[in-house]
Amino acid sequence: GQQVMQIPQYQHVQEGEDFTTYCNSSTTLSNIQWYKQRPGGHPVFLIQLVKSGEVKKQKRLTFQFGEAKKNSSLHITATQTTDVGTYFCAGTTGWGKLQFGAGTQVVVTP
Amino acid sequence: KAGVTQTPRYLIKTRGQQVTLSCSPISGHRSVSWYQQTPGQGLQFLFEYFSETQRNKGNFPGRFSGRQFSNSRSEMNVSTLELGDSALYLCASRTNTNTAADTQYFGPGTRLTVL
């Protein structure tokens, strides 16, 4: 069945550094969404990518959808303590069901 | 608009009991999905309801069931609780006409502890 793999599972980052988390699917995705969950909170929608090769930016966050629509990445520049949390990607190949990755837990060291 | 609400927020049960969790979606949202979140397994999809019909189902045993009412509110039920059912249960709603491309809005979750 479809699987969405996300790496790394954990990411320790020094404040001010950049990092990237990756999402890979075994099958072609029709779209991919990214969510952020703060400690003790619930997932909050960040962005959706639909087109092959699409790149979207939100301030220090850059999201990319691969040309084959099987992978995606989230790159954060100049990490801040407010970036702490778990970032999930979620992809779907069909109608209705999103498959979430296991998430990347980000810890920021001041 | 009010967000997705879930009740109760916290619940403690013992093994063998059953539990019912409730979710009220954002007004106008017809799709409600349920997820189980545990530290070891991440976000696991339980099922999705749309217009009172279960549209998608994850790989959970039959002890997990759900339903949706005509006002789009949804409930999920877990019977014969096991220790491993301890988790945060999240509900998410979206507008969803006939596409999977809608944003999901998550509720705060119900934290279930099974003793």
Per-residue pLDDT of B51-78, as tens digits, reads: 999 988 888 999 999 999 999 999 999 9
Residues of A in contact with B96 (CB under 8 A): 96
**How far apart (Å, rounded) are the C-alpha atoms in residues B31 and B23?**
11
Which of A84, A83, A88, A89 has the alpha carbon at shortest distance from A70? A89
Confidence of residue B81 (pLDDT cuts 50, 70, 90): very high
**How far apart (Å, rounded) are the C-alpha atoms in residues B37 and A43?**
11
Q: Does B103 sit within 8 Å of A33, measured CB to CB?
A: yes
- pLDDT recorded at residue A3: 82
Q: Does A103 sit within 8 Å of B100, measured CB to CB?
A: no
Lowest model confidence (mean pLDDT) among B6-10, B22-26, B52-56? B52-56
Residue-averaged pLDDT of chain A: 92
- pLDDT recorded at residue B96: 63
Are residues B96 and B25 in contact, defined by beta-carbon separation less than 8 angstroms? no
Chain A positions contacting chain B at CB under 8 Å are 30-31, 33, 35, 41-45, 48, 50, 88, 90, 92, 94-103
Are residues A47 and A55 in contact, defined by beta-carbon separation less than 8 angstroms? no
What residue type is A70 in one-letter code? K
Cβ neighbours around B51 below 10 Å, total: 11
**How far apart (Å, rounded) are the C-alpha atoms in residues A59 and A33?**
17
Q: What is the mean pLDDT of residues A13-19?
A: 97
B42, B101, B107 member nearest A100 (Cβ): B42
- pLDDT recorded at residue B42: 81
